[in-house]
Amino acid sequence: MANLTGAERARYVQGMFTRIASRYDLMNRTMTAGQDVRWRREVIRRAELPSDGRLLDLGAGTGDLAREALRQYPTVAVMAVDFTLGMMHVGQLRPPARRSLPTRLAWSAADAQALPLLADTFDAVVSGFLLRNLGDLALGLSEQYRVLKPGGRIVALDTTPPPHNLLEPLIRFHLHTVIPALGQWISGQAEAYRYLPETTQSFLGPERMAARLLEAGFEQVGFHRLMLDTVSIYWGRKPRQAK
Ligand SMILES: C[S@@+](CC[C@H](N)C(=O)[O-])C[C@H]1O[C@@H](n2cnc3c(N)ncnc32)[C@H](O)[C@@H]1O
């Protein structure tokens, strides 16, 4: 799959997420031992939304980040966008966040690399495990920059290639053996859970990813490594004044 590009890559990704949609959340909780819930809390906290803010959850999948946003900020308006209808369908069947109105969450199908959204619209754009899937990362980041209001925040959670240290063999075993086996057991889709280690291994490390955010025009860029440096949260801000 690593060699697929453009529409072919998009079709592959959509087909894979459609097949795993019903078991996606359970698989996330299992393979991260529940840690992803804590990471999502941090992503939303770092979005620093105003009480009447607008948030875009891009590559929202089943909407875990969108619901966490409404848990932390019940009065904001959230748009969850993904190009796999099956993932959003599962998310729409989930109960809404407590205290929030169901109308605070809108779902929309769109490609993160060509958003049918106006410029300068959102106070924050968040994503969970999306960036690694994009065929053109620079285009994906420029779209997020475009739809953010000046001063708006980008916060992204994604896996990073395993670090070269004493734990590397253990981490590689977890990625390449344990995760596909769990994927087969829980969702019957070992291939989808070979895609995860493959794309993780070939993705950017945190320093290079932060450099790409700066290149895209963001300022105040930073990142936080998690889970033995196998996952990172990135953040940045669109400048208040056009550069
Ligand atoms: C690994 S899932 C993450 C779902 C969710 N954000 C989470 O944190 O669990 C990646 C999601 O990104 C979506 N996706 C991948 N490429 C996309 C694109 N170009 N445009 C929109 N969605 C995309 C997939 O359909 C999938 O639902």
- Assigned domain for 192 exists: no
17 lines ligand 1 (CB under 6 A): yes
- Assigned domain for 196 exists: no
Atom of ligand 1 nearest to the CA of 63: 5
Residue 177, judged by CB atoms within 10 A of its CB (0-12, 13-18, 19+), counts as: exposed
Contact between 233 and 226 under an 8 Å Cβ cutoff? The reply is yes
Q: Which residues form the domain of 121?
A: 6-162+204-237
| Residue 212: CATH number of its domain | 3.40.50.150
- Assigned domain for 144 exists: yes
Question: What are the 10-residue block averages of pLDDT along the chain, 243 residues in total?
Answer: 80 94 93 94 98 97 96 95 98 81 88 98 98 96 98 97 89 90 89 89 95 98 94 97 74
For residue 102, the model assigns a pLDDT of: 65
Q: Whose CA is nearest to atom 27 of ligand 1?
A: 61
Distance CA 115, CA 60 (A): 14
- Assigned domain for 109 exists: yes
For residue 20, the model assigns a pLDDT of: 94
For residue 101, the model assigns a pLDDT of: 67
Contact between 49 and 73 under an 8 Å Cβ cutoff? The reply is yes
Distance CA 67, CA 51 (A): 15
- Pairing state between β 122-128 and 54-58: parallel
Q: Whose CA is nearest to atom 12 of ligand 1?
A: 59
Rg (CA), the chain: 17
Q: Which two tokens stand for residue 147?
A: 């739809």
Distance CA 200, CA 214 (A): 21
For residue 100, the model assigns a pLDDT of: 66
59 lines ligand 1 (CB under 6 A): yes
- CB neighbours of residue 203 within 10 Å: 17
- Assigned domain for 169 exists: no
What is the domain count for the chain? 1
- Assigned domain for 191 exists: no
60 lines ligand 1 (CB under 6 A): yes
- Assigned domain for 15 exists: yes
For residue 190, the model assigns a pLDDT of: 86
- Assigned domain for 11 exists: yes
Is the pTM above the cut of 0.85?
Answer: yes
